[in-house]
Structure 1
Amino acid sequence: MIVVTGVTGNLGRVVVEDLLTRVPADQLAAVARTPEKAADLTGRGVDVRAGDYDDPASLEAAFAGADVVLLVSSPDVTPGTRARQHGNAITAAKAAGVGRIVYTSAIKADSGPGFLTDHAATEQLLRESGLTSTVLRNSFYSDFFVNSGVVKAAVEAGEVVSADGGKALNTATIRDFGLAASAVLTGSDHDDACHELRGPLWTYDDLAAVIAEESGTTVVHREIPLAEAGEGAFIAQLVSDGFFAEPSDALERLLGRPATGIRELVRAALA
């Protein structure tokens, strides 16, 4: 039995949909804080269960009979909250006799900036639990950087702007991360592994060129000072510091194909 948490979120839903092509529906359970939001899965033969990261008893019941659990990281980024909630899930999994936990961590969780502390703490809790685990250190989502709003605005303005010093990004799509998680959940050679999942490197110069080519309009990249980046300054600083500059082929190997690049996202946005 495979149990997937966070099934009403974007990543969890991709995982469930792909698992339905890999395993019988009666070997799959979907956990949601509000099961009614995943009611369509019930009609497709999936066992939809209630589970709340702040309710350990509900998690133990939700994990009953599981051979492997996908622990999708909590959306609550309040410092300390994720580590506590994930700790509840790990304790519940151990009590339920779960064989393996697959955890969606984050890029550079063990060595990155302070906002990654809860991911590092969760990885430590997994190591201390005695449970077999697989850690998926996902990079940031390409969908956040390249989407219909960004692409159409670039076409209208004739430019894309950034404050990242021209450094590369190794982001990947939500769909690719979800498909990789599904592959790990159904695979047999990932025990106690840590996969650094990153997409193909790209820069804002690349993005401007691709938008120009795919739209048939003139689009250039204009670099702006970090002080003018507004709400995007935090991410821009990470990029400028080289946080996303390291490549990895782990995602491609799990997918069995090249990870989705920005050209595909630009084409989808323009369509």
Structure 2
Amino acid sequence: MIVVTGAAGGLGGTTVEHLLKRVPADRIGVSVRDPAKARHFADRGVRVRQGSYEDPAALRDSFAGAEQVLLVSGNDPAADLASLHRAAVGAAVAAGVQRIVYTSQHGAVPGNPYRPSDIHIATEAILAGSGVAWTALRNGAYGPLGHVLGPWQRTGEIAQPEDGPVPYTDRADIAEATALVLAGTGAFDGPVTLAAPAAVTFDDFAEIASRLTGRSVKRVVVDDEQWVADQVALGVPEQLTRLMLTWYQASRAGYFAESGTALAELLRREPRTVADRLAVSLDPAAG
């Protein structure tokens, strides 16, 4: 059995959908905080059990009978995520799981100024010391491009801090590849980078957007502190804004520049490019 945590979320839920195309439903389980949110999976024959990283006993029960578990990393910046991940790994080991697959982060290496990197580095070390087989999927940045680029369709400008090359990756591709890893299509031990094959900058985005829209889209570099002040003025908490600033600092230092072939090899096709994603996201009303 394969058990997926976080199945009520975007990545976990889409991974389960892809698993259902490849694995009998009675060989799939999900561990969710609120089983009611996974009713659509239960109705299709998936085993649904309550579990959360804060409750190792319930987690062990939700992992019972699993050969593999997908641990979707936590995302609460106020929580001690490394400790929660340690508890989840311990629950999986206690349940007799043979392999733990963890959703890590692209560029999770020492020195990366992007603060969540420390959580993923710590979790990978916990996995390495767990005594069971493990895979860390170092996923490329897969957030919505609108969040990354800002309101460029309205303003005609990509006005963000100085950046560096990043292989922005489609979340749907990541979910499909994750399902393929769990279904046994690709065997990976330890960390593996799942990222689009081409790393691009905001300058590249401006060129692509200009070509797609037929109008000039400018790249404007905003001073770090000015950007922080602008975000706070828009109502974004300063602590969250400064956390995001460390992502720009990491990208400009080259920590996210690595791409790779593993994603394309798993999918057996070319992953979606940023041009593909921009093309489908264009808002006709903004032109």
Superposed pair shares fold, TM > 0.5: yes
| Partner secondary structure for residue 129 of structure 2 | helix
Equivalenced residue count is 266
Indicate whether 1:207 and 2:205 are aligned.
yes
Distance 1:222 1:22 in 2: 45
SS for the counterpart of 1:29 is strand
- Structure 1 position 188, deviation (Å): 6.0
Please identify, of 216-225 and 24-33, the stretch whose mean Cα deviation from structure 2 is larger: 216-225
What is the DSSP-based 3-state SS (H/G/I as helix, E as strand, rest coil) of the residue aligned with 1:229?
helix
Query: Percent same amino acid at aligned positions?
Result: 37
Task: Call closer, same or farther: CA 1:265–1:191 in 2, change over 3 Å.
Answer: closer
More displaced stretch, 185-194 vs 31-40? 185-194
| SS of structure 2 residue aligned to 1:135 | strand
Residue by residue over 1:112-160, the C-alpha shift from the partner in whole angstroms, topping out at 9 and shown as x without a partner, is 33532221221111111111111111122242xx138957x32321221
TM-aligned CA distance change 1:158 to 1:187, over 3 Å: same
Residue-by-residue CA offset, 1:145-203 (whole Å, 9 max, x unaligned) = x138957x3232122123225x2112212212111111110116525232022222111
**Is the CA contact 1:141–1:171 (under 8 Å) kept in the aligned structure 2?**
yes
Read off the aligned partner of 2:122 and give its amino acid letter.
Answer: A
Does 1:44 find its partner at 2:44? Answer: yes
The one-letter code of the counterpart of 2:165 is A
Cα displacement (A) at 1:66: 0.4
Q: CA-atom RMSD, angstroms?
A: 2.0
- Structure 1 window deviating more from structure 2 (94-103 vs 107-116): it is 107-116
Cα distance in 2 for partners of 1:118, 1:233 equals 17
Q: 1:237 aligns with which of 249, 257, 275?
A: 249
* Structure 2 counterpart of 1:171, from 168, 172, 185: 168
Q: Where in structure 2 are the equivalents of 1:128-207 lying within 5 Å? A: 128-143=129-144, 146-147=145-146, 150=149, 153-164=151-162, 167-187=164-184, 190=187, 192-199=189-196, 200-207=198-205
Whole-Å Cα distance in 2 between the matches of residues 34 and 105 of structure 1?
24
Secondary structure, counterpart of 2:31 in structure 1: strand
Query: What is the correspondence of 1:259-270 to structure 2 with a 5 Å cutoff?
Result: 259-270=271-282
Could you tell me how far 1:38 is from its partner in structure 2? 1.2
Deviating more after overlay: 251-260 vs 19-28: 251-260
- Structure 2 runs not aligned, ≥5 long: 229-240
Aligned partner of 1:100 in structure 2 is 99
Equivalent in the alignment of 1:61: 61
Offset of residue 250 of structure 1 = 2.0
1:254 equivalent in structure 2: 266
Q: Please say which of residues 31-40 and 240-249 is displaced more in the overlay.
A: 240-249
Letter in structure 1 aligned against 2:70: L
The letter for the 1-side match of 2:33 is R
> Partner amino acid for 2:155?
A
**Counterpart position of 1:217:** 215
Indicate conservation of the 8 Å contact 1:148/1:270, yes or no: no
Whichever residue aligns with residue 195 of structure 1, its letter is: V
Which amino acid in the other structure matches residue 178 of structure 2? A
Partner residue in 2 for 1:126:
127
8 Å contact from structure 1 (residues 159, 219) kept in 2: yes
> What TM-score does the superposition give when structure 2 sets the normalisation length?
0.86
TM-score w.r.t. structure 1 length?
0.90
Q: Which residue of 2 aligns with 1:88?
A: 87
**In the alignment, does 2:23 pair up with 1:23?**
yes
Q: Distance in 1 between matches of 2:223 and 2:212?
A: 28
Contact 2:168 2:199 in 1 (8 A): yes
- 263 and 254 in structure 1: CA distance in 2 versus 1, 3 angstrom threshold: same
Counterpart of 2:233? none
Equivalent residue in structure 2 for 1:226, among 220, 224, 227: 224
1:104 positional shift: 0.8
Kept in 2: contact 1:226–1:237 (CA 8 A): no
CA distance in 1 between counterparts of 2:246 and 2:117 reads 14
1:147–1:265 CA contact under 8 A, matched in 2? no
